[in-house]
Structure 1
Amino acid sequence: MAIPRYDEASIRVLKGLEPVRQRPGMYTRTDNPLHIIQEVIDNAADEALAGFGSQIGVTLHTDGSVSVQDDGRGIPVGLHPEEHAPVVELVFTRLHAGGKFDKKQGGAYAFSGGLHGVGVSVTNALSRRLEVRVWRDGAVHELVFAGGDVQTPLQQVDTAPRRKSGTVVRVWPDPKYFDSAAIPVPELVHALRSKAVLLNGIKVSLTLEKTGEVREWHYQEGLRGYLDEALDGTEKIIPVFEGKQYAGDDDESFAAGEGAQWVVAWTADGQVLRESYVNLISTTAGGTHEAGLRDGLFSAVKAFAELHSLVPKGVKLLADDVFARASFVLSAKVLDPQFQGQIKEKLNSRDAVRLVSGYVKNALDLWLNANVEYGRKLAEIAIRQAQARARSAQKVEKRKSSGVAVLPGKLTDCESSDPAMTEIFLVEGDSAGGSAKMGRDKEFQAILPLRGKVLNSWEVDRDRLFANNEIHDIAVAIGVDPHGPGDNPDLSSLRYGRVCILSDADVDGSHIQVLLLTLFFRHFPKLVEAGNVYVARPPLFRVDVPAAGKRPARKLYCLDQAELEAAQEKLRSEGVREGAWSISRFKGLGEMSAEQLWDTTMNPDTRRLMPVVYGEPGIEATTRMFDMLMGKGESAQRRSWLEEKGNLADVDV
């Protein structure tokens, strides 16, 4: 068989917007074009957030296009000093061009959702046609794109009153990039209404050209009015708790202007409403700012309950006990938000936990102690929730009590016995196990250190598995016996809801990870199917960035070389002096302090934990792949596979 050629000509460089059209799913959702329209809406909202503009209008046209109009400052139309092209053209054609990288004092957008610099350029790349009209400095300019490329260069088409400014962007999404070309109107309505809620006094409208319907939103009460409307008269246990706080110029921990506004309501029954935003961007998957809100509410209620001796003996309050019946709307302002993925569903900024938690706790402490009656009611709800949780756990323990094997001596167990909460980390090496034990949350995290590399169990009979001490300890610790794909094991005896593989971010760590995945796929397939198996992703690098301008000193953690390069590029774009930061490489988990391991890999609010699921090819194809990779008699097939695929490997040597 001929070996595919791999030489200089094999390398293809994607230019301009080509990467987006080649892999649209990396940059946006491809089920429908709503997200690429939201990028344009977000730009208009950022103008309002920066204090410019008073209205945003969106129109769904009968020809399938969508236009977004604002009365902000208008995108600059002059030539860029370095690129020598109109700035408005660069914004729509360069993946990393925009006003949102400039976070220094006086930057155009100190607080904005735009971070990646690929927002409206992705909109342009995935559109058949895109028209931009700008009112600025007494002139009206127009620019037209087709398929992401300039069709009609920027030109002045009219004059305008000197005080009139703003931008209109009209987009014709290209159906070939989306599963459905239709814009889901309910989701669009939700997004627009949210903008009106978060931008007090800003008028937001939606016009449906087909029916002539016009909808407008203009909230004077902001978050409070929105939450009351959403809960629709549902009885509240105590009055709504609301507040806001932002860092001042003299704050040593956070940049000036960073902070949050929140409104929280506790209800006795019905659905809870939970919505969060960062710089007006809706974070539907939550993130570290929500974790900060939960932590702040819990800390204040727990402190109040302990101060007034309300907690019965033997009851331990947890954050979920306070949070279970809480509805909230949270709007955080973060100077340099780190999102998970381009669609910005989840905030990953670690500092946001401390930012929101500190402000919320202080405010709720004052509120509860000024309204002791409400504080007692809130504490009673949390205590009842904790007692119900404890009773539930006791019932589970009684069902499991018969025939329990002796737990491994090296297992450091957790206090809780509720599988919905608990997790076990299978950690590579005793030294890393020591850091994990010190850094963990002993309430719900258990640690099982593994010595050396686990046996390749692909071709080991089930009856012989327990001859290996490591596999024996894993099975006993998790409480489920080895089984086959056709078996029906008793998963009610599962002791931990999440079984997390935690190994070094190097080649040896990857090998251990593969051996453990082989064990679970071959001998514990029902755990994989049920979504109980995870892989923790520790970072390989740490970047220490000194204080600069508004930003205090910070630490950035990077999973791999690619993330490190992206982080450095981002620091350069922020104006951090080249070489001002220092880079440390972790040789292994054992080299991390307990605090670092908790912060990067074990803290549920800031870690990266990947669920193990079956891929698209299905179980049969996965089984064939494991056969080829792990079978003892498949060396020839492995060799040919490596020769064919070897150039795709990202080898860390």
Structure 2
Amino acid sequence: MTKNTNKIYDASSIQTRKGLEAMRHTPQLFLPDLETPGITHTIKEIVTNSVDEMLVSPENNVKVKIFMFTQEETGRVQFLVTDTGRGVPILTGSSGINPFYNCMVIPHTSGKFNQNTYAVAGGQFGVGHKITVATAKRFTGVSFRPEGVGFIHVVEGVAPSEPTLFLSEEYRHFQTGLISFWEPDKSVFFYLESYAKEGYLSLINFLREIVYFRKLDIEVYKLERLIPEKLWKTEDPNFLLQEIEKIEKKSQLVWSGLTEDSLGWIRSYWKLNKNFSWKREIKFTEDERKICDDVDPQISKRIHAITLQFFYIKGDRTGGCFSLVNFVHIPDVKKSDQTKVVLEIMKRAVSTHIEDKDIKKFFLSLYNLPLYLAVGVDYEGARFSNATKTAWVDPEFRLVYMALVSHWLEQTDNGKEIVKEFYDLIQSDIEARYNESLGKKIFTKSNMSIRSLLGDMDKNFCDAKPKDGNRMNCELFLFEGKSAGGGEGYDTEHQGTYPLQGKPKNVLKGTNGSFSEALRNVLEDAILSKILYLLKYDPREKDTSNLYFGKVCITPDADAHGGHIASLLLTAFQTVTPELVNMPGFFQIIVPPYYQICLDKNPKYRVYIRDKDDLPSWCAEHIFTKRLKIKARYYPYLNLPDKEIESEAYITFTKILFEYGLIMENISNRLQISPEILEALCKCTYYLTPRTMNTERVRECIMANRVTYEKDTNTITVSYGETDIPIPLMFVREELYENVLKILNRLKWREWYPVISTETINNSKETPISFFNLYKLMKRWRDGLISIKPLKGLGSMDSKDLTYTCMDPRNRKALIIKGVGDVKRIIRLMEKDTAERKKIVSEYFS
């Protein structure tokens, strides 16, 4: 590689961008894009600050006015936002920093971090207002306060060293509030010309989201001219207010929040051209706060309002969701707790009215509720998952919210009435879709025979040859590839094999639930059509009396690819041949072995393990019980004799112990704290909170030389000799309670501790040991005696072993499908096994 000697790279080459300059050079970090949504987002950041003022003091009748100035011939657009809220404080505090200046231009500065100031504000990062300032060609902010007036002018991200303040008596009589006007910079944003023409529609759509649940006094004005130049330069409050009043008289009012048709807007949001045939609403009241207090009183105090609205349109099968959190729209409903929880509980409540077991199974697994749901939450301290606030996931709030919604829909008279009304509306649709899933609907048939559609039999197919001629006792094994196309010594009389050699088509793609379209996809797919030919079955005739095989055994490889192939096959059969799926046991998923274990690391002595439960059980039975005796020695207060752990109890104990050891190792790696210290801390979790902290008790439990506690950071420092180990209690307590103690309680660790004797220790001498050290000892025994080989494909197995583990009815493990209701359950089980195979290899045998 040629060196570039003309470029100098030294200390002077390193630069640091701060504040508005950094935000102006990387606006994509704070905006959805640099086109229309990004421009609208900069306006949203200013407007939501004004809306937060409206919500803080609704009795003060705060008003917000938004002016949009456009000049189409030059493609320039400017904005002016005024509100009559409290304004931003302008007097310098004891820290010597001016709050008005910081709120305007210093990132991560906000009055919303203190929940006493803004109870239900949507802001949480302190960067929204600043990104608007940073990306503006010029920006002016004016704060009217009881103590005076403050001005600040920013040009292309460059701010003055301090704001201009007017604090004399003549400047203290103005109505409090905040005025912001700015011009987005063409060098930052694209397509400002198109925004000048129709951009205000995007702005109005955002405002309609805000006022959906509550009418707010917000007005939008439009002018086909720019802000007068003298207004950008003035620092005279009287002149500024007079000019804005003149602008308002010349402006065209294009939207008002007080006259907004919320019901019409929500229909347009969901792109509906029909009126709702049913609508119900539930609102949170103080009488229901006790329900939340019982779950978590601290979270309950932070709930201010919750509104649920249910809609239904007769004949509609789609449904939709809309949600606001602190008047911030959350478009990513898949990650939003507030919508998922309601839909899950509503579905559960509706299922109680379904009496037929098969229909209920179909409803819970396959049916999508045709429910339109609008949710509004005012929640103190809401946490959003990204800078643009498109998702909100709060596990603490979810538990309280789940209890509240469950109470509403399943226990109150009003909620039960809503559920019953909704069930009555969709009952016929549930039954109709269930019947469609069973293939009971009659479709137009082609004149072509299925034999002509499918072509000749594949040469890779090995047919079964029953001597008695009874084909219903024959099994068809579907393998993934040619290398696994049947093992050595299988039952050729009653077993046929066929290698798929590829991945079948997703027959549901682009069908919109149409049986005829799905059938066409099946017949056009080489793999699926060949399977139908091998079965001698025509899905259009639905005649199961002349099947060529009495059972189909899908035998995928033990990896994600094999699981996906099996899922596609089941989906296709469930869609076009539900009558075959409803024949109990006709379709089976053969679960292949996941590992090959070699005893003493010798390939000649191999054993195959299939399930994750088999791995620790096998190790316990063949390794640990022969080399390690374990007794449970009870603590003196129980006054019980020692008890040796044997047989099934030994296996169960080993499985739980390895689960415990893996979790301790993972936590230790994340927190950089030794597992031995974590295990010792489990004995004194009560003393690990600021209120109950007892450093002497903690020191005794972990046998340290010294323990000190930092209350500000909620951290203890553990000293062993000259080594100091900081331990953040906030994370440690959470890990101990959420993961470690749950497993230790299964071991009943407060009642006893293990005592061991091994071949290397005199059997008469028993050694006490901690649970984690026992895990390390057993792991060392195991790793020294066996080797594990993960099996990816069946073709890598010995042919005799393949026959023994997957084809022999006496030894194979199969997931039996008894009907269409089992398909989704079987797919989930299969995917779970497939996903956890790698997890077990990487964790249990790492």
TM-score, structure 2 length as denominator?
0.46
Deviation at 1:87, TM superposition (A): 0.9
In 1: Cα distance, 2:403 partner to 2:440 partner = 32
Greater relative CO, 1 or 2 (CA 8 Å, sep 6+): 1
Listed one character per residue, the Cα deviations across residues 530-554 of structure 1 (whole Å, up to 9, x for unaligned) are: xxxxxxxx9985899x9999xxxxx
In 2: Cα distance, 1:594 partner to 1:419 partner = 42
| 1:477 counterpart (563, 570, 581) | 563
Deviation at 1:127, TM superposition (A): 0.9
Deviation at 1:288, TM superposition (A): 4.3
1:85 aligned to 2:85? no
Aligned to 2:595: none
Distance change in 2, residues 1:576/1:321 (3 Å)? farther
In 1: Cα distance, 2:24 partner to 2:419 partner = 59
- How do residues 103-114 of structure 1 correspond to structure 2 at under 5 angstroms? 103=115, 107-114=116-123
1:346 aligned to 2:346? no
- Partner of 1:299: helix, strand, or coil? helix
- How do residues 85-164 of structure 1 correspond to structure 2 at under 5 angstroms? 85-103=97-115, 107-137=116-146, 139-151=148-160, 153-156=163-166, 159=170, 162=173, 164=175
Deviation at 1:13, TM superposition (A): 2.7
In 2: Cα distance, 1:11 partner to 1:388 partner = 69
Listed one character per residue, the Cα deviations across residues 538-591 of structure 1 (whole Å, up to 9, x for unaligned) are: 9985899x9999xxxxxxxxxxxxxxxxxxxxxx9xx9757774335999xxx9
| 1:186 counterpart (173, 177, 201) | 201
| 1:59 counterpart (67, 91, 99) | 67
1:30 aligned to 2:31? no
> Comparing 273-282 with 385-394, which one deviates more in the overlay?
385-394
Distance change in 2, residues 1:95/1:335 (3 Å)? same
| 1:234 counterpart (253, 274, 282) | 274
Tell me which protein shows more helix as a share of its residues: 2
* Percentage of matched positions with identical amino acids: 15
- Partner of 1:191: helix, strand, or coil? helix
Q: Which amino acid aligns with 1:475?
A: H
Deviation at 1:272, TM superposition (A): 4.9
- Partner of 1:113: helix, strand, or coil? coil
Distance change in 2, residues 1:305/1:318 (3 Å)? closer
In 2: Cα distance, 1:310 partner to 1:72 partner = 59
In 2: Cα distance, 1:173 partner to 1:57 partner = 19
Q: Which amino acid aligns with 2:165?
A: Q
In 1: Cα distance, 2:419 partner to 2:371 partner = 19
- How do residues 367-386 of structure 1 correspond to structure 2 at under 5 angstroms? 367-370=414-417, 374-378=421-425, 380=427, 383-384=430-431
* Residues 59 and 67, structure 1, Cα contact 8 Å, conserved in 2: yes
Distance change in 2, residues 1:384/1:354 (3 Å)? farther
In 2: Cα distance, 1:394 partner to 1:586 partner = 54
| Gaps in structure 2 of 5+ consecutive residues | 71-75, 226-250, 443-449, 455-474, 485-505, 510-554, 575-665, 673-684, 692-709, 717-727, 744-846
* Residues 346 and 409, structure 2, Cα contact 8 Å, conserved in 1: yes
| 1:321 counterpart (350, 364, 367) | 367
In 2: Cα distance, 1:334 partner to 1:280 partner = 10
1:262 aligned to 2:308? yes
Aligned to 2:54: 48
* Residues 67 and 79, structure 2, Cα contact 8 Å, conserved in 1: yes
In 1: Cα distance, 2:403 partner to 2:415 partner = 16
| 1:244 counterpart (270, 275, 284) | 284
Listed one character per residue, the Cα deviations across residues 265-315 of structure 1 (whole Å, up to 9, x for unaligned) are: 0112468553211111111223544x4433324324423432563655563
In 2: Cα distance, 1:47 partner to 1:161 partner = 20
* Residues 261 and 332, structure 1, Cα contact 8 Å, conserved in 2: yes
Q: Which amino acid aligns with 2:424?
A: K
Distance change in 2, residues 1:81/1:376 (3 Å)? same
In 1: Cα distance, 2:570 partner to 2:262 partner = 43
TM-score, structure 1 length as denominator?
0.58
Deviation at 1:170, TM superposition (A): 0.7
| 2:382 counterpart (337, 344, 349) | 337
Distance change in 2, residues 1:169/1:354 (3 Å)? same
Deviation at 1:214, TM superposition (A): 0.4
In 1: Cα distance, 2:136 partner to 2:439 partner = 54
In 2: Cα distance, 1:364 partner to 1:358 partner = 10
In 2: Cα distance, 1:547 partner to 1:72 partner = 40
Aligned to 1:437: none
Listed one character per residue, the Cα deviations across residues 384-413 of structure 1 (whole Å, up to 9, x for unaligned) are: 476268448999xx99999743799xxxxx
Listed one character per residue, the Cα deviations across residues 427-479 of structure 1 (whole Å, up to 9, x for unaligned) are: xxxxxxxxxxxxxxxxxxxxxxxxxxxxxxxxxxxxxxxxxx99874433221
Distance change in 2, residues 1:80/1:372 (3 Å)? closer
- Partner of 2:279: helix, strand, or coil? coil
Distance change in 2, residues 1:584/1:138 (3 Å)? closer
Deviation at 1:223, TM superposition (A): 6.3
* Residues 78 and 184, structure 2, Cα contact 8 Å, conserved in 1: yes
Instruction: From the CA coordinates, give the structure whose radius of gyration is larger.
Output: 2
Q: Which amino acid aligns with 2:423?
A: R
Q: Which amino acid aligns with 1:479?
A: I
| 1:286 counterpart (323, 333, 352) | 333
Deviation at 1:333, TM superposition (A): 2.3
Distance change in 2, residues 1:96/1:124 (3 Å)? same
Deviation at 1:79, TM superposition (A): 1.2
Aligned to 1:71: 84
In 2: Cα distance, 1:389 partner to 1:265 partner = 25
In 1: Cα distance, 2:30 partner to 2:363 partner = 41
| 2:344 counterpart (298, 313, 319) | 298
Deviation at 1:188, TM superposition (A): 0.5
Q: Which amino acid aligns with 1:361?
A: S
Deviation at 1:76, TM superposition (A): 0.9
Deviation at 1:193, TM superposition (A): 2.1
Distance change in 2, residues 1:393/1:593 (3 Å)? farther
User: How many pairs does the alignment contain?
Assistant: 453
In 2: Cα distance, 1:418 partner to 1:363 partner = 40
- Partner of 2:424: helix, strand, or coil? helix
Aligned to 1:650: none
- Partner of 2:187: helix, strand, or coil? helix
Q: Which amino acid aligns with 1:143?
A: I
Distance change in 2, residues 1:471/1:124 (3 Å)? farther
- Partner of 2:479: helix, strand, or coil? coil
Distance change in 2, residues 1:476/1:2 (3 Å)? same
Aligned to 2:21: 18
Q: Which amino acid aligns with 1:57?
A: K
In 1: Cα distance, 2:88 partner to 2:175 partner = 13
Distance change in 2, residues 1:547/1:188 (3 Å)? farther
* Residues 351 and 363, structure 2, Cα contact 8 Å, conserved in 1: no
In 2: Cα distance, 1:179 partner to 1:284 partner = 24
In 2: Cα distance, 1:419 partner to 1:245 partner = 45
